Amino acid sequence: MKHIKRTHCLLAAAGLIGVSASLAQAQPYYVAGSGLNPSWAPGTAAYEMTGGPTVYSLRTAAAATVAGTVYADVEQFKVTGATWSNPNFPGDGNVVTLPDATGSNTFYFIPGPTADGWSPVLDRVGYADPGGLSFEIAGDFNGWGGGAGYQLAPIGNGVYSNSITIATAGTYGFKFRTPGSWNDIYFGQDFGNGGGNASITTSNSPQTLPFVLDLPNGRWVVGTPVVALVTNYVVFAVDMSSQLELGNFVPGVDTVYVSGSFNGWPGVAAGALVLTNVPTYNGNTNIYYATNLFIGQPGSTGPQYKFTCNDTAFSGNNDYEPAANNRTFNLLQTSGVDLLPVVSFGNVYASDYLTTDVTVTFTIDMTGAMTATNSGSALNSPAPYTAHAFDPVNDQIYINGNFLNGGWSGWDPISLSGTQMTNNPSLGSLVYQYTAVVPQGSELILAYKYGIGYASDPATNSFYDDEAAVNVNHARYIRITSTGSYNLPTDTFGNMYAEPSFGQLAIAPGSAGKVSLSWLGRPGVQVQTTGSLAGGTWVNHPETDGNNWTAAGSQSANGFVSTTNWPATGGNLFFRLSGQP
């Protein structure tokens, strides 16, 4: 169905490792604990973790704001299934931690085995460092007393580490704990208070080993050499020019933020990193930026994030930019300032949208058309769903897509009542067409899909997403707008073709004194020329932009191809296509 409609994944793993997140979820997981209302209630919908299947996450609601309040009371939690009879993690004790400065906690769950050399190897429960924590090592080798020489130092992103000397070779049990106390936070093999001891074996007398504790990823390791960490001042920068042109962003009124796993995905709420355009970024007032400190291993993958904006134009994306994937970056190999590339908000440029209304005609050849067996129809029809051959006498064909008013419609008779295709015998007995006015401000790329409605279906006269699998669509571009109308190439039912954005630049001998030039264009793309590739200046030809081109052209499988006889200069002449966002 909605191939081009942008989505976002709001949750990701935190800490020093990069873990991809998906919206798919093998089973639901929940957080139950003493800091929630209701407390210790597994399966509470408000506390269902999101993300998965690799990493699940939940940020609990902030406590009521009280001026000067320090949230110092420990909270206890577990990750559970829908009931206590389902698995719950950690297996022995509860996870114990402090709330952060807002009275919130952010928990992460990494289910299943993880073979990365860290412990535990199965079902890790971790949490974002709330601040105010400190840890020491207490074990067989120090009489379970901890003390000087056994305390861990925070090194950023919820990671604590220190190199500790063990006097005599042997196997020892130990735990991480709040310094000097067994009454607060303490854990061993996993993050559950009261669980089993962690264990270490040394071979030399004495032997010094690094102990590393990683809170967000719910893991620890001993004996792996600790690489010298780098401190990076990371500069996030986003260009709001296109959103300003589209009327989605109002400078001085709207605010842009960075929200990610490093600050608990607050969206545009408190805790989000606020961006500013003062002073200007390279003289561009439309670029908004901010700096955040990150500490980690050289070259390691940093946290995932998105840009957000509090303008109501983004409310459909919960204030998050409509880029399909979370953004991330790698730390530098050395300490210093890391200037991330300037990106456009949502990876959207003004040239990706129509600047005028365009009447678009869709055409499809239904010869031999057969509904797909693994299509969206399976959602509406009894299994097994079998293919159906198009019957031009009794069946109808409909179109659905992002170009409709309000975007994609539901696959039902009411929603698609105005999108029935009409047979055009002049083009062929089984050729059907539909014409729609695609209004100014719509996406330049058309994502769409055809569907057959037929009376013999078990759900009588229903119209289905039955051309191909769900989310598999046709994708074509409106390549010229200057004429006010555009005819798409003829589609074949079931051939889910996606056009390239632009390209296919070609030259050939032309008439006297000219060369024949052809290219696959679109609005925002124009031809450039230069007389030399060695330091020559590229000259723009805005008349070749898809918004301006009115000269010759021809149809192709990828849409309108612009063609012209270009005057020769008598010397070298080089051509290229350039996208102008």
For 353-411, write each residue's pLDDT tens digit.
888 999 999 999 999 988 876 554 444 444 445 678 888 988 889 999 989 887 888 88
Please state, in angstroms and rounded to a whole number, the distance separating the CA atoms of residues 69 and 104: 13
As a whole number, mean pLDDT of residues 216-231 equals 78
The pair of three-digit structure tokens given for residue 62, joined into one six-digit string: 């902030």
Indicate if 230-348 has the same CATH topology as 1-222: yes
Mention every residue, 6+ apart, whose C-beta is less than 8 A from residue 84: 42
Confidence of residue 461 (pLDDT cuts 50, 70, 90): very low
| pLDDT one-digit tens code per residue, 404-420 | 887 888 887 788 889 99
Please state, in angstroms and rounded to a whole number, the distance separating the CA atoms of residues 436 and 400: 11
Instruction: Calculate what percentage of the chain has a pLDDT beyond 90.
Output: 48
Tell me the CA distances in angstroms from 10 to 7, 259, 288, one per residue in order: 10, 9, 22
Mention every residue, 6+ apart, whose C-beta is less than 8 A from residue 211: 137, 152, 161, 162, 163, 164, 220, 222
The answer to whether domain 353-492 has CATH 3.30.70.260 is: no
Q: Does the pLDDT value for residue 310 go beyond 50?
A: yes
Domain ranges of the chain: 1-222, 230-348, 353-492, 503-579
Q: Does the pLDDT value for residue 3 go beyond 70?
A: no
Q: In residues, how long is the chain?
A: 581
In terms of pLDDT, which residue wins out, 299 or 528?
Answer: 528
Extended strands (E) in 312-426: 336-339, 343-344, 358-365, 396-401, 422-423
| Cβ atoms within 10 Å, residue 389 | 11
Indicate the range of 58-72, 264-278, 303-317, 429-443 predicted with least confidence. 58-72
The pair of three-digit structure tokens given for residue 435, joined into one six-digit string: 């014409």
Q: Does the pLDDT value for residue 16 go beyond 70?
A: no
pLDDT score recorded for residue 545: 94
Q: Does the pLDDT value for residue 23 go beyond 60?
A: no
pLDDT score recorded for residue 371: 83
Backbone angles phi and psi of 382, in degrees to 5: -65, 140
3-state secondary structure 52-114: CCCCEEEECCCCCCCCCCCCCCCEEEEEECCCCCCCEECCCCCEEECCCCCCCCEEEEEEEEC
Backbone angles phi and psi of 317, in degrees to 5: -105, 20
Indicate the range of 113-117, 211-215, 507-511 predicted with least confidence. 113-117
pLDDT score recorded for residue 506: 93
| pLDDT one-digit tens code per residue, 323-345 | 667 899 999 988 889 999 999 99
Residue pair 309/321 in contact by the 8 Å Cβ criterion? yes
Confidence of residue 25 (pLDDT cuts 50, 70, 90): very low
As a whole number, mean pLDDT of residues 497-521 equals 90
Indicate the range of 13-22, 285-294, 369-378, 551-560 predicted with least confidence. 13-22
CATH of 230-348, one of 2.60.40.10, 3.30.365.10, 2.40.50.100, 3.30.1360.120: 2.60.40.10
pLDDT score recorded for residue 18: 25
Confidence of residue 460 (pLDDT cuts 50, 70, 90): very low
Q: Does the pLDDT value for residue 108 go beyond 80?
A: yes
pLDDT score recorded for residue 476: 96
- Where does residue 145 rank: exposed (0-12), middle (13-18), buried (19+ CB within 10 A)? exposed
Residue pair 504/462 in contact by the 8 Å Cβ criterion? no
Confidence of residue 188 (pLDDT cuts 50, 70, 90): very high
The pair of three-digit structure tokens given for residue 313, joined into one six-digit string: 């134009």
pLDDT score recorded for residue 167: 93
Q: Does the pLDDT value for residue 430 go beyond 60?
A: yes
Tell me the CA distances in angstroms from 501 to 241, 369, 487, 498, 542, one per residue in order: 21, 27, 17, 9, 18
As a whole number, mean pLDDT of residues 74-84 equals 89
Identify the three-state secondary structure at position 312. helix
How many CA atoms lie within 13 Å of 473's alpha carbon, on the beta-carbon side?
19
End-to-end CA distance of the chain: 28
Indicate the range of 361-375, 376-390, 453-467, 537-551 predicted with least confidence. 376-390
In terms of pLDDT, which residue wins out, 516 or 350?
Answer: 516
Q: Does the pLDDT value for residue 231 go beyond 70?
A: yes
How many CA atoms lie within 13 Å of 168's alpha carbon, on the beta-carbon side?
6
pLDDT score recorded for residue 324: 63
Question: Which of the given ranges, 36-40, 111-115, 371-375, 520-524, has the highest pLDDT on average?
Answer: 520-524
Q: Which residue has the tokens 């050395």?
A: 334
Q: Which CATH superfamily is domain 1-222 in?
A: Immunoglobulins (2.60.40.10)
| pLDDT one-digit tens code per residue, 143-161 | 999 888 899 999 887 889 9
Please state, in angstroms and rounded to a whole number, the distance separating the CA atoms of residues 553 and 561: 5
Four-CA torsion 140, 142, 145, 151, nearest 10 degrees: -110
Identify the three-state secondary structure at position 46. helix
Identify the three-state secondary structure at position 17. coil
pLDDT score recorded for residue 300: 81
Q: What is the mean pLDDT of the chain?
A: 84
Identify the three-state secondary structure at position 346. helix
